[in-house]
Structure 1
């Protein structure tokens, strides 16, 4: 019987095929290739049989060394995994071969060409499966509308006026500023509704932020970016290894390039860093990043814990977090302030904690917010990871509706991403405690303190937090006069129940459990690439103020 070469463009198609395959008795070997560089559900380097046999070794995602006490097989889910055999039972940890993530881009094209050539000879069946059509925002206008609310909050229906809500924030007593993307066919009716709202309440206004959202998206597109040419840049890090240069911050990048960049940063400081994995996303991607430390060795000091790209469409967050990492890695050799903070704290940094959603924004829908979790009894996809934490879960500022952008899930921590992050935070708390947690977001230019789930209760050290936030905001303003507000999230932005900073404050016992909303207040999520580096520079200035206080 002939073998089959199955060529896939997306992980769900691959998963569905393997489910079908497992239900049949077949003798042929299957080599599955997923063409999307960001997909992590298949491994083209290591062909696997239907019985799950593999000729690969599983590797520790942090040390990249082989694990001999694991099984590499399909396991319970239809994807190759590495499952511990060390007595952990059904709670076995899942790993993907790390070598796959760092080497894949170098071999995908060769394997793709080989499979297509074999298919052309009629030796195998080539079955291409495509991504969903990319969502177009051509001709969409983005408006900022002032909306009154007598109850102190506004519903999603009140805020929409027929558009797609992008952001909202308090602007004064009883008033909200809401940013909405409006389709071309709806513009006339939207403007009429906005005018009627303004007339009815004797105030309010609406302004146009973007005349063509699709054109803005094209300007920031990763198409033709440094993806094909990204490589080491010999600037010499603290460990003497090659280090990527600041040109990394000239553009946005595909997810696979981010993964390689983290590996490059770690290699530049090999004696004081390691690659880490906090867990696994719904679609099977590792939630990965870097751990940095100074004198005293790793895991010996209180933690500083950073999360980026919780919301998929907030691209600026991951690159700003990477800029922070860049400054820490390059500065440890001769910057006394960096040496001080790294010698006194362990940094645990996860630049993209929603990898599935992030990839989806690059392949299909740039404005996607949630993760990509599929649930029973609903066709809606995705949960807001930042409404799924246990503290304040299910309260105002979140939604029980699976179609909502703020869907909180059906129970606390029922998304694999939130569950992994909460467990990781708990482990840092139990080790040496957490000094600072920052959940990085965009866009609003505000430092969010706890709490978000309530507007009437505050952490015991709220005055200390306000003082530090005020100093950071003043330092952020120095390079470019960028103004950041600060205060408890429920008061300065909006109510958000089940968010990460509240959990890190109450359960994680972080001294400072924060969220920071980055630039800007005009371009929104579609921040032009030429603002990446300035955004990183101003945030680094703010953090240097914090390091000096710690």
Structure 2
């Protein structure tokens, strides 16, 4: 279905350029992939390229280059080959059956899979929803003793479970005497087409579980903190991206337009939800619903989090919302560049160190910024008919999960992390990047856990230097 489509990167030199590009994109309902301070990436059909360019000022009509010329081939490359996929499923089943049978009576501390090479199994390819659900259940069954708990945070609009894993010892061991479950929440897959975010959350869950009892720092982190992993917040959309449309972004919820289903989950949360132009049109890919929490999955995630705080003695200390692409680490607020973050200095310090240790892990550079500035439209010079002001973004950001968990759930450290890459593949990152991206995030979260433990990363640094991770 994308045989005649390409992804173009427009270079923007003035605020007026951005405003003109944004206006034309809205009129033609163009799929905006990414937007930075001086560029915007867009998917355009070859048939529609001429009419789209004709709507732009002359300065923009040649100010672009082609990032992906053959979009259909790039899409095909992200799906596993049938033979490779079946082999991976068979190997994964055999691993689970062998481990579960031979180690069923062991305690959590001694229970470890015999192989620590997930890249040759589950993480060799992107995996469909059914396989992910089976794999999460397998992890739950393999690790006894209270370290791992699989559960559902609720149901989607189409009736699917939204699966989650809680990893940690709770308040019963090193937290003895305290009933509070200090919790780090990590989500992926709010946008269906961002497959790398889903694989990365799965990789993080695997890495923390299998490192417990072997990695001293991971054991300390899980002794003091629970980590809740929700790999696919949008299961309906993710399933649809496998069966019908690889580039589907929204949920599959019915809207007032029968031929335009779906709500953008990252514009659907209650804090500073607003009916901006692109968020109020059901056919827009950034449609935020008819009101706050109109999206079923956003409402389920928020209700689960509130219930955890109010009834289960949970305190969310951090929230990491994984997305793609552009290699950015963003802190609140997304809805406004003028809103002040009370703990901004600490937020920036942690973000810069997360970026640092991701770079030390792989060499890839991640930038840091506030969420509103991460894709800022312009610093000055908006035209008089653009009453949104000089900092309008191509993709508006009201009602984000990032802002909601920071402000309403009061997760002190909240970040949206846009994973690989910077545009070469965009949302169609090859499967060979799954493990390196997961390793980047795992090392970054080990630093963050050490920071929460009061060591400011020093113990993490010493540990990794001893293991020659940093080189």
- Bucket of the pairwise TM-score, normalised by the shorter protein: 0.7 to 0.9
Deviation at 1:232, TM superposition (A): 4.1
Cα distance in 2 between the residues matched to 1:154 and 1:391: 29
Aligned mate of 1:213, from 66, 71, 85: 71
Cα distance in 2 between the residues matched to 1:138 and 1:238: 51
Gap change, CA 1:255 and 1:321, over 3 Å in 2 = same
Give the 5 Å matches for 1:440-479.
Answer: 440-479=322-361
Deviation at 1:152, TM superposition (A): 7.5
* Runs of 4+ off more than 4 Å: 151-156, 160-163, 187-195, 234-239, 241-244, 395-398
Q: Does 1:330 align with 2:203?
A: no
Gap change, CA 1:141 and 1:512, over 3 Å in 2 = same
Conserved in 2, the CA contact under 8 Å of 1:243 and 1:268?
no
Deviation at 1:205, TM superposition (A): 2.4
**Per-residue deviation, residues 87-124 of structure 1 (Å, max 9, x unmatched):** xxxxxxxxxxxxxxxxxxxxxxxxxxxxxxxxxxxxxx
Which residue in the other structure is 2:163 paired with? 288
Which residue in the other structure is 2:259 paired with? 379
**Structure having greater relative contact order (Cα 8 Å, sep ≥ 6):** 2
Q: Using the TM superposition, name which of 311-320 and 138-147 deviates more.
A: 138-147
Q: Does 1:434 align with 2:434?
A: no
Q: Does 1:539 align with 2:441?
A: yes
Which residue in the other structure is 1:140 paired with? 5
Q: Gaps (5+ residues) in structure 2?
A: 174-178, 377-395, 453-471
Deviation at 1:293, TM superposition (A): 1.2
Q: Does 1:170 align with 2:71?
A: no
Cα distance in 2 between the residues matched to 1:356 and 1:433: 29
Q: Aligned to 1:451, what secondary structure does the other structure show? A: coil
Give TM-score, length-normalised by structure 1. Answer: 0.69
Conserved in 2, the CA contact under 8 Å of 1:140 and 1:182?
yes
Q: Does 1:226 align with 2:85?
A: yes
Q: Aligned to 1:347, what secondary structure does the other structure show? A: strand
Q: Aligned to 1:296, what secondary structure does the other structure show? A: helix
Cα distance in 1 between the residues matched to 2:372 and 2:59: 25
Q: Aligned to 1:231, what secondary structure does the other structure show? A: helix
Cα distance in 2 between the residues matched to 1:338 and 1:267: 21
Which residue in the other structure is 2:420 paired with? 519
Deviation at 1:479, TM superposition (A): 2.6
Q: Aligned to 2:297, what secondary structure does the other structure show? A: helix
Give the 5 Å matches for 1:5-44.
Answer: none
Gap change, CA 1:379 and 1:165, over 3 Å in 2 = closer
Cα distance in 2 between the residues matched to 1:198 and 1:151: 7
Instruction: Compare CA radii of gyration and give the structure with the larger one.
Output: 1
Deviation at 1:218, TM superposition (A): 1.1
Conserved in 2, the CA contact under 8 Å of 1:238 and 1:333?
yes
User: How many pairs are equivalent?
Assistant: 407
Gap change, CA 1:213 and 1:548, over 3 Å in 2 = same
**Per-residue deviation, residues 328-358 of structure 1 (Å, max 9, x unmatched):** 1111121111111111111111100100000
Cα distance in 2 between the residues matched to 1:531 and 1:310: 20
Cα distance in 2 between the residues matched to 1:460 and 1:447: 18
Aligned mate of 1:184, from 29, 40, 46: 46
Q: Does 1:259 align with 2:125?
A: no
Q: Aligned to 1:459, what secondary structure does the other structure show? A: coil
Cα distance in 2 between the residues matched to 1:375 and 1:193: 30
**Per-residue deviation, residues 271-305 of structure 1 (Å, max 9, x unmatched):** 21111110100000001111111263498521111
Give TM-score, length-normalised by structure 2. Answer: 0.80
Cα distance in 2 between the residues matched to 1:377 and 1:472: 42
